[in-house]
Structure 1
């Protein structure tokens, strides 16, 4: 489904995942495509707020995976204390500590002054501030009617929304997507890695049944709305050049996110089992 005349909505979780892409070149390639295609991206102050609300947390979570080597495991026998390999290890230890200090200083700068030190923040800030018919920012007067529609669908329990959600953020984004589809007469591509907009099965995303019905009723039966968890796929659909390295990096990122989610679920299940065991012993 390439060469699609479509607008792309990029969910906040996709933007935050730029901090988890390991390759700087790949990250810059994605950011460059965003920079050059503001007029094809649906955005708004809701996405901006969610991104800036969570940016620092995601950065700290990412750097939390950087571990200091366990130097105790490299302690040699006394007779080898003055050997050449041990001297090299000591020199490496000093260099690692030196680089850790530099890394810490860079992180502080990224957290304190993102406008000068964070390439992701700089790129997205340009997107959030762009003058576009598809930007629901504070200067767009239609934001009030969009909010009212979002409040109504939230009260009625309409999707998209998370379980036990107390925010109308997803509803605002959906109503704005519908508005942009109506005005632009274009197809819509939603890029997200959350389950708010639909279900995932066998590495394929399916738009929520009611959202699909609503889109057809409010927009058109002929108009397409595509749900994907890959920004590379969305860019290819609108005929933008995407390299294999970009696709591979995104696939690796999605796989790592899935592994992390499963590990968290297993840890939680383990905690519950231990808690139940303690409760049973107390009885």
Structure 2
């Protein structure tokens, strides 16, 4: 009996592509500095990433939305006001506090100015720099996937019928991305996502992908490190811990700037 030859990690990796939901890229704006290490690791494997023109457009426009939302929340939650009284103003300690508060508001303006600068000059933004490097490399490798009129028609039909993935309201962004993948990808895939785009009706999507491409969706995960491990690319314990912390922080993102005692 002939022994079955076990594939090397390199051979396995060559046969699998990773589809990363746009929100995964945007989550790096909602995360602490250490999370950039994940992008540095991902940047070594641009040839494994499925990138569509629709994902590029979604990132470009929603990047600004996310940063503006963060700016608005920061402006609101960091604006410390006080009501002076004769009693307080007679205290030396209060006078020193007011001086410190003046310095605080100057620093606060600098933070807001830095946010505005990143919006106006995205080249100073490390997340945007990663994304543009990815677009450039995928273009060079001729792996960037484009939307055609035929794909638009198929996406519109998918929306009308109600087949997943389903975009909210009247948009068809998720439908476009999926039709681009179905029309172009010839490898097995792993999906990275943290919202309901691919989670809902995942069994249907697996069957849909297989019937249209003859290939398989091997896994759906919320972790970049999981996907890389699945295709035979080892990641450090440190990197896995960074991502674990990042996801935990994202679950409480709306409370990031609030005091610990806030209810």
Q: Which TM-score band applies after superposition, normalised by the shorter structure?
A: 0.7 to 0.9
Q: Could you report, residue by residue, the CA deviation over 1:200-250 in whole angstroms, capped at 9, with x for unpaired residues? A: xxxxxxx523212112223347x3432122233223323242524422332
Question: 5+ unaligned residues in a row in structure 2: which ranges?
Answer: 1-8, 257-263
The C-alpha deviation readout for 1:116-175, integer Å capped at 9, x for no partner, is x211112111212322343114xxxx7444334333433433211135x42332122112
TM-score normalized with structure 1 length: 0.72
C-alpha separation between the residues in 2 aligned to 1:7 and 1:94? Answer: 53
Of 155, 159, 163, which aligns to 1:158? 163
Residues 144 and 114 of structure 1: is their aligned pair in 2 closer, same or farther, counting only changes over 3 Å? same
> Separation in 1 of the partners of 2:255 and 2:163?
31
Q: Which runs of 5+ in 1 are unaligned?
A: 200-206, 261-283
Moved over 4 A (4+): 257-260
The root-mean-square deviation of aligned C-alpha atoms, in Å, is: 2.8
Match of 2:179 in 1: 175
| Residue 268 (structure 1) aligns with | none
- Select the residue among 235, 241, 245 that pairs with 1:241: 235
Partner of 2:23: 13
Partner Cα separation in structure 1 for residue 78 and residue 63 of structure 2: 24
The 5 Å alignment of 1:156-235 reads 156-163=161-168, 165-182=169-186, 186-199=187-200, 208-220=202-214, 223-235=216-228
- Structure-1 separation of matches of 2:136 and 2:88: 65
Residues of 1 paired with 2:63 and 2:154: CA distance? 28
Length-normalised TM-score, structure 2: 0.77
1:80–1:135 CA distance, 2 compared to 1 (3 A): same
Comparing 147-156 and 37-46, the one that deviates more: 147-156
